[in-house]
A = this chain, B = another copy of it.
Amino acid sequence: MTKIFKYIRNIHYYETDCMGITHHSNYVRIFEEARIDFMKKIDLAYDRLENLGIIIPVTGIDLEYKNVSKFAQVLRFESAIVYFTGVRMTVQYKVFDNETDELICTGHTKHAFVDQNFQPFALQKKFPEIWQKFQDWNLHKDF
B59 lies within 8 A of A64 (CB): yes
Q: Are A19 and B55 in contact (CB under 8 A)?
A: yes
Query: Is the CB of A16 closer than 8 A to any CB of chain B?
Result: yes
CB nearest neighbor in B for A73: B47
A60: chain B residues at CB < 8 Å are 62-65
How many protomers of this protein does the assembly include? 4
Contact B46 A71 (CB under 8 A): yes
Tally of A interface residues using CB under 8 Å: 37
A88 to chain B, nearest CB (A): 13
Of B13, B19, B32, B63, which is within 8 A of A61 by CB? B63
Residues of B within 8 A of A26 (CB): 25
